[in-house]
Amino acid sequence: MARLSDQEKQDLLDMAGSVSMTEDFARLRQTNKTLTPMEYLEFLTWASELATESASNRDLPIEARMLI
């Protein structure tokens, strides 16, 4: 997984401290909408398009650290 740049880290910290972002997440928590299985699959399909990282860029799992 790619490391975040200093600018990306600062952007995330700024977003975390944003009043409007806090209000948006609070509003989302209040909706309590349950997705149907089809809506959930549509969401996963949409979200998978955002994941552009190639599997070849990932580190291989090290068995000594696997907690199963």
List, for residues 3-43, the tens digit of each pLDDT value. Answer: 888 999 999 998 888 898 888 888 888 877 788 999 999 99
| Mean pLDDT computed over 41-49 | 88
Contact 7, 15 (CB under 8 A): no
- pTM, to two decimals: 0.36
Q: What pLDDT shows up at residue 37?
A: 92
Exposure string (b/e) for 29-56, b if CB count within 10 Å is 16 or more? eeeeeeeeeeeeeeeeeeeeeeeeeeee
